[in-house]
Every structure is written in C-alpha cells, then in structure tokens.
Amino acid sequence: MPPSEDAVLEALRHVHDPELHEDLVSLGMIKNVEFAGEKLFLGIELTTPACPLKDQIEGDVRAALTPLGVSDLEIQWSARVAPARGPDAERAPGIRNVIAVASGKGGVGKSTVAVNLAAALVQEGASVGLMDVDIYGPSAPLMTGTVGQKPAIVEGRIQPVEAHGMAVLSMGYLVPEGQAVVWRGPLLHKAITQFFEDVDWGERDYVVVDMPPGTGDVQLSLTQIFPLTGAVMVTTPQPVALADVIKGANMFDRVNVPMLGVIENMSYFVCPCCGERAEIFAHGGGRTTAAEHGWPFLGEIPIDPTVRIGGDEGTPVVISHPESPVALSFRQAARTLAGKVSQIGRRGAISA
Ligand SMILES: Nc1ncnc2c1ncn2[C@@H]1O[C@H](COP(=O)(O)OP(=O)(O)OP(=O)(O)O)[C@@H](O)[C@H]1O
Ligand SMILES: [Mg+2]
C-alpha cells in the first residue's frame, strides 16, 4: 500500500527550500501528489526555472519520502516567478522583475554581463527581456546581432526586437547609428519612461537592464520610474573599480534598491596554451568587498577572448559556447541571481 497523500505532505513539511528557509508545503510549492500503483508523481513548483538548488531539493525530497516506503518517485518540475515590485508597477504590468546591471566604473563589462545573464536565464526556461538604457553608448544591438533593426510599432506601441529568445530594446534602434545623443535629465527621464510604458514587453519573468556607467541621471530616473527588484554591480578586481562599486551600491541603497549581488568580471585569465591561470587585474576583490558589506557574491567571470568575440559578433558566449568554462561561470551566476530574486519575491529581503 502506498502512503496516504497526507503522509506524503507531512513528510514534505520537513523539507526546507534552502534559499527561502521555509518548508515546501508552507511555500505552496507542492502542486500535485499522485500515486499510480507504487509510483509517486510529485509536482513541485519552483520560484524560478533557473533554480540553483533544484538538485539539493530533489535529494532532500527523496530522503524524506524513503522512510514512507516511496522508492519509485518522479518529480514533475514547474516554475512560477513571483513579482518583486512595488505599487507603481502598472506602467508595465507583465514585467515581474527588473534587474539593473550597473557599475561604478565604465568598461568593466556591464553590457557583456547583462547580455549573458539574460541569455542564460532564457536557457533556463525563463521569459526574459533585455533593456539597454545606455543612451550614450548602446551595446545591445551589437551584442545581440540586431544592429540596424527597427522595432515595429503596432497600434502605437513599440514591439521589442527578438534575439536569442529574448525581447530586446535599445536606444540604439531608435536613434540613427553614430549620432551621439546629447540629452539632459528630463529628456532622458522621458525616454526611459517610454521604455516601460510604450513598449509591449508581454509577460517577462525578468527584464535585465544594461545601465550606463556611474551614478548619474539615468540610474536615478530608472529607480523613480519603475520599482526595481534590485541591482547587480559588475566590477573588475582592481581596487579602483571596487571603490566605485561601493559608491554605486550606496546610490542604490539611498533609493531603497536592494543589492542583488556583485559579479567580478575579468577575474583571471587561463592561458590557452599551458592552462596556467594568470590574475591580470589581481583577483578576489569583488568577493571580499561583497562579504565586507553583506552583499551576495554572484561569481567570477574569467577574461576569455570568446566573450569579446561573442559580443562583437552578436551571439553571447553562453549561447555560442554553452559548455565552455566562461559560459558555465555566467550560467552559474545567473542561477545564483535568480535565487536572490526569489528571496526578494518571497521575503522582501535577501541573505548574502
Ligand atoms: N570576461 C571578459 N573577457 C573578455 N573580454 C571581455 C570580458 N568582459 C567584457 N569584455 C570585453 O570588454 C569590452 C568592454 O565590455 P562592455 O562593453 O561589456 O563593458 P561596459 O561596462 O558595458 O562598458 P561601458 O561602461 O562603456 O558601458 C568589450 O569589448 C567586451 O567584449
Ligand atoms: Mg555598456
């Protein structure tokens, strides 16, 4: 005789989601308990398709059900990303989470990180948008292979460009190429408002926003226009970049945008000839700075020529070389990030 549904649920009350620190039943993650003979089909709904702890949850569920005599278990996974946003989100009701990818210093790889995180979230099964609000130096068209495309206008609303499974919008599509945009605060504010209000984003689990460097008008406008889920700060390992991370994080902190974590880009270089690892800009400062401030650390991305080539040719490295070490580091960072977003969605706060 298989155990009763109640007995199964009781056992699952002792399995905790390692990130949300609550049991699977209380979290409403158990969607289905069904026996076919001795075989149990268990439906589990994760808080993100990019769940970094799925294997751990599966192991814990199996361990909890073994004492009940359940040996034949098939888990049917699904995911629903909760929105983590405030009351004025009606500007773009289909967007569940907006993640700003920012840095204190220019040229540290924000756009590269934003595009690869977005593509990695698509690979995990999420519905993703990429919003490039770097009005002065838009990168998304080049990095997604969509230079020269024009977003369609349907019934007066802008349709994002589709690339690599994500919806992309960049000022680069709207302003003639090479024409430097010299806009001041109010115009910038209006343009970014339109990026939310006048664009058909559809349903998006995550919209990743590629920011211009620093802590200027665009950053502040964005936080005023839409309730951001949080910010990811990209840095390189040098002390000068790290000092700017703290400045950037302080800016977000002042406007109550949570820090989702730090990514150390160009963290080290593995010589393709001898395999030796060289720490060109030093290494590990991102992790240390994050730990000192209680921010999550999302990962280290090595310097790898395929990253730059992917950016220049319009196919993010997580798509062109999905199993390469650098792609795996992006993909792991995306999963860790998705876990932090889930924490905010559920608990309103994160633990580092
Ligand atoms: N991990 C990496 N390995 C190799 N090249 C990289 C890596 N990360 C970024 N790059 C390259 O470094 C250059 C700068 O990156 P990117 O444009 O992403 O920086 P950014 O912070 O967005 O710059 P800006 O501040 O101008 O917006 C690009 O040519 C990119 O391809
Ligand atoms: Mg950039």
pLDDT digits (tens, 9 = 90+) for 83-124: 876 545 677 889 999 999 999 888 899 999 999 999 999 999
Q: Which atom of ligand 1 is nearest to the CA of 265?
A: 1
b/e per residue, 108-128, with b = 16+ CB within 10 A? bbbbbbbbbbbbbbbbbebbb
> What is residue 327's predicted lDDT score, i.e. its pLDDT?
97
Q: Which atom of ligand 1 is nearest to the CA of 211?
A: 27
Q: In a 3-state reduction of DSSP, which class is residue 223?
A: helix
Q: Which domains does the chain have, with CATH numbers?
A: 5-79 (3.30.300.130), 89-347 (3.40.50.300)
d(CA 243, CA 238) in angstroms, rounded, equals 9
Residues whose CB falls within 8 Å of the CB of residue 182, separated by 6 or more in sequence, listed in order: none
- Ligand 1 mean position to 110 CA, how many Å? 7
The neighbourhood of ligand 2, an ion, using CB within 5 A, equals 110-111, 139
What is the residue-averaged pLDDT of the chain?
A: 90
> What is residue 60's predicted lDDT score, i.e. its pLDDT?
97
- Label residue 181 by pLDDT band (50, 70, 90): low
Burial class (CB in 10 A: 0-12, 13-18, 19+), 208: buried
Give the DSSP H or E segment for 325: helix 325-347
- Ligand 1 binding site (Cβ under 6 Å of any ligand atom): 103, 106-112, 134, 137, 139, 213, 265-266, 301, 303-304, 307-308, 311
Check pLDDT > 70 for residue 20. yes
- For residue 294, the tally of other CB atoms under 10 A from its CB is 10
Q: Whose CA is nearest to atom 11 of ligand 1?
A: 308
Q: What's the pLDDT tens digit per position in 137-171? A: 899 999 999 999 999 999 999 999 999 999 999 98
Q: Whose CA is nearest to atom 30 of ligand 1?
A: 308
**Alpha carbon 104 to chain centroid distance?**
19
| Ligand nearest to the Cα of 143, by number | 1
Q: Whose CA is nearest to atom 28 of ligand 1?
A: 308
**In this predicted model, which residue has the larger pLDDT, 214 or 337?**
337
pTM score > 0.85 for this model? yes
- For residue 266, the tally of other CB atoms under 10 A from its CB is 24
